[in-house]
Amino acid sequence: MTVTATRRNVLALTLALSAGLAVVGLGALTVGGVHLPLTEVWSGLRAAGSSAEATIIVREIRLPRILLAMLVGAALAVSGTALQALLRNPLADPYVLGISSGAALGAIVALWIGGRVATASPLVAFGGALVTMTWVYFLGRRAGRLASYTLLLAGVITASFLSAVILFVLTLLSTRDVRGTAFWLMGDLSVVTETQLGILIPVVGAGIAVLYGFAKDLNVLLLGEEEAAHLGVNVARVGTIVYLLASLLTGVAVSVSGAIGYLGLLVPHLGRMLVGNDHRTLLPTAALGGAIVLVLSDTLARTVVAPAELPVGAVTALAGAPVFIYLLRRTAG
Amino acid sequence: MGSWHNSAPRQREGEGPLEARLQVENVAFRYPHFELSPTSFEVRPGELVAIIGPNGSGKSTLLEIASGHLKPLAGCVRLDGVDLHRLPARVRAQQVGLARQETILLFSFEVREFVRQGRHPHLGRSLFESADDERWVDWAMEKTSLTAFAGRRVLEISSGEFQRAVLARTLAQRPRLVLLDEPTANLDIGYQIEMLRLVRQLAASESFVAVIVTHELNLAAELADYLLLLEAGRCLAQGKPEQVLQSGLLSRVFRTPVVVDRNPSSGRPRVTWVAP
């Protein structure tokens, strides 16, 4: 299916998906250790309910976590979509390519050195993502061209190497206030502070908005770098900006949630099936779809084995890895 | 014959901004293992020029230089007197369309979406196509007989249809210079003739300049106004088909004996390979 990219269609699509996200968000607020009916969720949200307990559960426990899932989901899905266009590879994803691991390592190092400076961790995670992306990009380039499988292998190997470094550093830091290996390597949305949300909301919002300005250039890039250049796109400039934005989105997301995998693969793929490959419709679909999918995944993660919790990355990997294999087999021909 | 080359552009009724004249002047280029010697040619609006020659003779390099994308080491390319290599990429893309056939698409578009990408250089700051843009897309689809394929996916249509879609995308750019690198590769003879006839007709009706690279000597003989024969980066001959397609020259360049006679129905040269 394809939704023709016109101003009206994009607006309608965005509204429809936003409504879907609101429904999923409200639903997720009702689910948990204590089931809250919608009426109580609503009064809890307005802090006008009869029970103070419901207000605390809704506003202080569930809402921040769900907002975090929305922001991280949107950031990772949009980052994956942009990387797939730039690398012209439907299998590109910040996690598979090792970029999330680079960001996680950056965040850990920042927590180690920077300690309590709230902006240090997302900032250095952005740097880690950028360095890893540059590294994998140059490893994946053969004779001036991007070799699809070389790139993927370079990413996978880099991810595994960086995971080992993360384990090493975390072992050294075991006495410090740095979260555990499951958090950094699999991703987890269970702890979030207001400060973190305060950083995430403007950065993710602005990152996606700026990226959207390049939507039509990304379309032309899907045709190939040479074709894009002949259609008047400054490929080097657009490429650099989009790489920066994809790294930024991945970096800030990973710094607060760890390396949640496959979302940047799963969601864009669903989006392509739903609206087609025009980035003017695909990017908003990926952003809102990523938010929806991660809220759903996290709701599953915290309820499916209650009272215990799964890291959300386990849920996204269970759904995403089969999609990766499917895409790998389909593009192999 | 010399006067043909130097005569002023024909003026036709109703010719607007598409009036064009391409001047390629002494362009030269060098790769590590290949050198393009200074080459010049001129094309008048409405004409179809074919660049022929063996593999690796520099045809595509010359085409890339003529597009204004690849900067020559020496010489210049002028379209209506304007040096193409001095234009910003977007402005140049409003005037020059280049279509190659080697594009490998991993992401499928619907045919109309694919053709619509040709409007990219004209969008300016707007993120979406205007009604005018959509009209040119419809026009390009109609000219290439693709209207019925609008909703099909480019990865699912035949190679002949895909080749037409690439041409349609280039036409939707509304360029005054259309450059096609092997537009008939992978096409059966019916499609080959149809494709070049279409380019020729459109070049005349829209009065753009068309330059193609091709291996199909007889097709070039029938449908091109002007030929350039390249060998190892040097232009050995240029002129009307009957001037360039000489049996001795072709036998030497393609390292196989050929006979050139006349096509009885068109009177144009006809090249036949002779088994050695």
Which member of B89, B117, B151 has the closest CB to residue A229? B89
Single residue among B151, B174, B197 that ends a domain in this structure: B174
pLDDT in tens, A241-266: 999 999 999 999 999 999 999 999 99
- Among A217, A231, A278, which would you mutate to test the B interface (most chain B Cβ atoms within 10 Å of its Cβ)? A231
Q: Which has the higher per-residue pLDDT, B226 or B2?
A: B226
Average the pLDDT over each of A18-22, A176-180, A218-222, A294-298 and give the range with the smallest value: A176-180
On whether both B79 and B158 belong to a single domain, the answer is: no
- Among B106, B133, B138, B162, which would you mutate to test the A interface (most chain A Cβ atoms within 10 Å of its Cβ)? B106
Please say whether the beta carbons of A128 and A112 come within 8 A.
Answer: no
Q: Closest approach of chain A CAs to the CA of B13, in angstroms?
A: 30
On whether both B258 and B163 belong to a single domain, the answer is: no
Domains along chain A with CATH numbers = 7-331 (1.10.3470.10)
Total domains in the fold of chain B:
2
On whether both B183 and B266 belong to a single domain, the answer is: yes
Q: At what angle do helices A63-87 and A7-30 cross, to 10 degrees?
A: 140
Q: What is the pLDDT of residue B247?
A: 93
On whether both B245 and B128 belong to a single domain, the answer is: no
Residues 93-112 (B) with a CB less than 8 A from some CB of A: 93-94, 96-98, 100, 103-110
Tell me the C-alpha distance between B161 and B195, whole Å: 10
Single residue among B174, B192, B212 that ends a domain in this structure: B174
Q: What is the DSSP string of B76-134?
A: EEEETTEEGGGS-HHHHHTTEEEE-S----SS--BHHHHHHGGGGGG-TT-SS--HHHH
On whether both B179 and B254 belong to a single domain, the answer is: yes
In a domain, B8, yes or no: no
Look at the block and give the residue holding tokens 């204590």.
Answer: A34
In a domain, B4, yes or no: no
Contacts of B105 (CB under 8 A, 6+ apart): A222, A223, B154, B155
On whether both B223 and B193 belong to a single domain, the answer is: yes
| pTM confidence score | 0.90
Single residue among B174, B206, B225 that ends a domain in this structure: B174
Q: Please tell me if residue A283 touches chain B, with a CB cutoff of 8 Å.
A: no
On whether both B182 and B249 belong to a single domain, the answer is: yes
CA-nearest of A232, A147, A146, A226 to B100 is: A226
What sign has the CA pseudo-torsion A290, A292, A293, A298?
A: positive
Q: What is the pLDDT of residue B30?
A: 94
Q: Closest approach of chain A CAs to the CA of B92, in angstroms?
A: 7
Q: Which has the higher per-residue pLDDT, B87 or A143?
A: B87
Q: Which has the higher per-residue pLDDT, B242 or B102?
A: B242
pLDDT bin (cut points 50, 70, 90) of residue B7 is: very low
pLDDT in tens, A203-238: 999 999 999 999 999 999 999 888 999 999 999 999
pLDDT bin (cut points 50, 70, 90) of residue A175 is: low
Q: What is the pLDDT of residue B8?
A: 40
Judged by CB atoms closer than 8 Å, whether chains meet at A280 and B110 is answered as no
Residues 207-266 (A) with a CB less than 8 A from some CB of B: 212-213, 215-216, 219-220, 222-224, 226-227, 229-234
Q: What is the pLDDT of residue A177?
A: 64
Domain limits at B187?
16-95+175-276
In a domain, B128, yes or no: yes
Collapse the DSSP code of A231 into the 3-class scheme (helix H, G, I; strand E, B; otherwise coil) and give the result.
coil
On whether both B169 and B233 belong to a single domain, the answer is: no
**CATH number, residue B237:** 3.40.50.300
Chain B residues closer than 8 Å to A80 by CB: none
> Residue B231 pLDDT > 60, yes or no?
yes
pLDDT in tens, B59-93: 999 999 999 999 999 999 999 999 999 999 999 99
Judged by CB atoms closer than 8 Å, whether chains meet at A224 and B103 is answered as yes
